[in-house]
Amino acid sequence: SEYNQEARKQKQKTYHPKKGTVTLVYYNKYNHSNIYNQKEIQLQVMNQTYPFVFNGQKEGVRFNYHLAHINGLFFVMNDEDFDSIANKVPDSEKMMYRGYTLPNIENTKKLNEALRKHMKQDDNNAFRSNMELYVNMKEFGNITLFIGSFISILFFLTSCSIVYFKWFHNITSDRKEYGALSKLGMTKEEVWKISRWQLCMLFFAPILVGSMHSAVALYTFHNTIFMDGSLRKVGLFILFYIAACIMYFFFAQREYRKHLD
């Protein structure tokens, strides 16, 4: 059958229903998880009903999915059954499905616009271009990344300011505690090592928790947008954020030590 010919090209599973039976093949389980649950299918074509034994439904067709079911949802039947039905349908009611796979999808914008101009009528939105879907998803992903980056910068400035002022708010009591440790015989370097460890815990604990939350959000974002490069972009921004926090910590703890001494 024509379906099996295309399935072989795409290295997908082929189906060979017996006469009087049909197999439903759908795009994926997210679009059609469980459509039919009966043993017999009543297929209506041109106001005429054709009964078929239902072989079940399978996932994995690689044709583009369409919301109006123009393609992406197939009843695979025996060639004899198909020919007997197709011969009774006038050519004006038939639809020819054509698909093209082109490399470098981002560079096909002009071709896409030219094809749309040559389409006489597209009442059912039969023309579908992955380039348009890709561009829309990319724009949405970039906007989401920009908003997330802006919020992260605000959070970075706010959290660093809060921690910095908290350090200096407690500096009087810290001087007394470190003075008591010095009287016990500890050197300034030993006292400062303890102090730096406490500052490090206070500063990086929220960052560690935030990084765990970001990892979960990053995984969800990548699965939702499902774009090449999105995982790398967000991952790089998180690394830059952590690097900025480390640089700020070394600057802040040096200023804190000057006031502590």
78, 99, 120 - which closes a domain: 99
Per-residue pLDDT, averaged over 102-108, amounts to 75
Bigger pLDDT: 72 vs 50: 50
Are 141 and 92 in a shared domain? no
Are 52 and 137 in a shared domain? no
Query: Which token pair is 18?
Result: 């017996």
Are 172 and 240 in a shared domain? yes
Per the domain annotation, does 251 fall within a domain? Answer: yes
Per the domain annotation, does 78 fall within a domain? Answer: yes
Per the domain annotation, does 14 fall within a domain? Answer: yes
pLDDT of residue 47: 84
Residue 90: domain span: 2-99
Give 53-80 pLDDT, tens digit per residue: 988 888 766 666 555 555 567 788 999 9
pTM for the model stands at: 0.48
Are 138 and 237 in a shared domain? yes
Residue 26: name the closest of 57, 68, 56 by CA: 57
In the chain, beta strands by DSSP E: 21-26, 40-45, 48-59, 73-77
99, 116, 146 - which closes a domain: 99
Bigger pLDDT: 196 vs 125: 196
Are 39 and 86 in a shared domain? yes
Are 76 and 138 in a shared domain? no
Tell me the sheet residues that pair with 40: 53
Are 149 and 45 in a shared domain? no
Domain count of the fold of the chain: 2
Per the domain annotation, does 116 fall within a domain? Answer: no
Bigger pLDDT: 134 vs 67: 134
Per the domain annotation, does 232 fall within a domain? Answer: yes
Query: Which token pair is 165?
Result: 């002022």
CB burial of residue 187 (10 Å; 0-12, 13-18, 19+): exposed
Q: Is 50 left (phi over 0), alpha (psi -120 to 50) or beta?
A: beta
pLDDT of residue 206: 76
pLDDT of residue 242: 81
Q: Give the pLDDT band of residue 160 (cuts 50, 70, 90).
A: confident
Per the domain annotation, does 79 fall within a domain? Answer: yes
pLDDT at 122 over 60: no
Are 136 and 256 in a shared domain? yes
CA angle at 257 for the pair 254 and 259, rounded to the nearest 5°: 120
Instruction: Please tell me the least confidently modeled range out of 102-116, 146-160, 169-183, 220-234.
Output: 220-234
Are 95 and 161 in a shared domain? no
pLDDT of residue 214: 72
Residue 73: name the closest of 25, 34, 23, 11 by CA: 25
Residue 74: name the closest of 63, 85, 83, 84 by CA: 63
Q: Give the pLDDT band of residue 21 (cuts 50, 70, 90).
A: very high
Are 72 and 144 in a shared domain? no
Bigger pLDDT: 37 vs 55: 55
Are 75 and 136 in a shared domain? no
Are 148 and 71 in a shared domain? no
Contact status, residue 32 vs residue 75, Cβ threshold 8 Å = no
Bigger pLDDT: 100 vs 197: 197
Residue 127: name the closest of 95, 89, 174, 150 by CA: 95
